[in-house]
Amino acid sequence: MAQPAAMSGAADAYTTNPPRELPTRRGTELGLLAFAAVIVTSAFMLVQANQERELSFSLIWYGLAYLAIFAVAHLAVRRWAPYADPLILPCVALLNGLGLVMIYRIDLAREQKALALSEEITSNAPRQVLFTVLALALFLGVLLIVSDHRTLTRYAYTFGLIGIAALALPALLPSSLSEVNGAKVWLKLPGFSIQPGEFAKILLMIFFASFLVAKRDLFMTAGKRVMNVELPRARDLGPIIIAAVVCLGILVFEKDLGTALLFFGIVLMMLYVATERVIWVVVGLSMFLVGALIAYQLFTHVQQRVANWIDPLATYNDAGGGYQIAQGLFGLGTGGVFGTGLGSGRPETVPEASTDFISAALGEELGFVGLGAILMIYLLLAMRGMRSALAVRDTFGKLLGGGLSFTIIMQVFVIVGGVTKLIPMTGITTPFLSAGGSSLLANYVLIALLLRISDAARRPQQPARPRPQSQAPLAEAHTVMVQRPPAQGQPGAVGEGGRQQ
C-alpha cells in the first residue's frame, strides 16, 4: 500500500508544478544584433582601408551611432513586444548597416571627385544616420501606441481615406512643389521633402485587410462559369476596379510606374490570401496589363521606360535614355562573382547610386555572391513575417502580416528587377539600403507593425479566469417564507430525524 501512495504523491507534485513559460528569445535577438554589428563594423573598416588608406575618427562615430540606435530598438522590443520573432530586427539592422556602409563609400568617392573639380557636395551618410534616428522614434511610437494590432480595425476607413488623399496630393500640386526627376510623387516643404505614397501604402494595407475580413463572403461567392472557370460576380469587382483606376491614375498623373505596380500587387496578394481563389489574380493581372498597354500608347514617358528596358545602349546618349541602366549593368559585370571588394570599385559612375541603384553598387563591390546573400536576407525577413502571419490567431492579423511581408519582397523585386533589366526601371527605393528619409521612415513603421503581429502570434494564451458569482440585488433575490416551528412539548412538534415527539 505504501508504493501506490508514494506514486500518487509524486503525481500530485508533478501536476501542481507551474507550467513552463515560452522563451521570449530576446537573448537570441541580442546575439544576432551583435553579429550584425561585427559585420557592419568590418565593412566600414574595409571601406576606409581601401579608400583612405587609414582608419579615421568617422569610423568610431558611425559605429557608435549604429550600436546606439539598435540597442535602443532591442530594449524597446524587449519591453513592449517580448515574444516577437527574434530574427526580424537583426535582419533589418544588417540591411540598414550595409546600406549605410555603401552610402558612406559612395560619399568618399564623390568627395574625391568634387575635390578634383574644386566643387562642394553634401554627404548623404550623416543624413542617413539622422533619418535612421527619426525612423527609430517612429518605430518606438508604433510599438508603444499600438499595443494590440486588432485595434487598428476601428480606424480602417479613416486610414483608407488618408491613404488615398496622400497618394493623390502630389498629383494635385503644381510641379514646382511635387516633381523630382520627372515623377510627381514628392511633397516639397520648407527645409525638407517627403513622399506621402510611402506611408499611404501602409494605411491602405490596413484598410484593405479590415475590409476583406468584413466582406470576405462577398468575394467567395462565385458567379458564372466560363470555360470551366468560376468568375466573380460583376457587383463584387468594385474594390479591384477601384484599385486598378487608382494605379492607372498614379501612372498617368504622377508618372510613377513603381508605385502603381507595388500598390496593385499588394491588393492582388491580399485578395488571394483572403479568398484562396486564383481567378482574382488572373482578373487583376489582366486588368493591369490592359491598363499598361493603354498607357504605353498614350504617354511618352512610359514609351521611354520601355525603350530603355529593351535596349539601354540604343538610347545611351539620349536625354532620359538608358545611360543609367547601362552603367549599372557595367558595374554588375565588373563585379563578377565575388566583386571588386568594398572600396575598390567605381559605383559613383552610376547616376543615383546611393538611392535607386544602390543594389548595382553593392553588386559591383560584393559580386554576385554578396548581392545574392543580401537578397537572401530579404527573403529570410519576409519568411519570418509570413510565418508570424500564419501563426497569429485572428484573420485581420493574418491578412495584414501577409501584406506587410509581401510588400518587402515586392519592393525588392520591382527595384532589383529594374536594375538588372528584368522589368522596366521604376523609381522606388530598396528597403533599408537606399539613402532617403521617406522610405526609411515608412519601412520602420512597417517593421514595428510586423513585430507587433509576431508578438501576438508567439505570446502564450492566458487561461480564462472564472468570473466571480456576484450576488443578486436585494430587490431581485428570491424570498422564502419561513414558518415559526411549534414550541417543544406541543403536539405536532418535530424533533431531529423528522419524528414527531
Q: Where are the domains of the chain?
A: 26-458
**CA angle, corner 305, sides to 302 and 308, nearest 5?**
150
The pTM is what? 0.86
For the chain, report the end-to-end CA distance as a whole number of angstroms: 49
> What pLDDT does residue 280 have?
77
**What are the pLDDT digits (tens) for 340-354?**
999 999 999 999 999
pLDDT of the residue at 10: 47
Q: What is the pLDDT of residues 384-413, one digit of tens each?
A: 999 999 999 999 999 999 999 999 999 999
Q: What is the pLDDT of residues 193-220, one digit of tens each?
A: 888 889 999 998 998 899 888 877 776 6
Best mean pLDDT range from 207-211, 282-286, 293-297:
207-211
Assess whether pLDDT exceeds 90 at residue 228: no
Give the C-alpha distances (Å, rounded to integers) separating 141 from 76, 137, 217, 271, 444.
Answer: 10, 6, 35, 30, 11
Contact indicator for 163, 203 with CB cutoff of 8 Å: yes
| Helix (H) or strand (E) segment spanning residue 226 | strand 222-226
* Nearest residue to 124 via CA among 419, 364, 440: 440
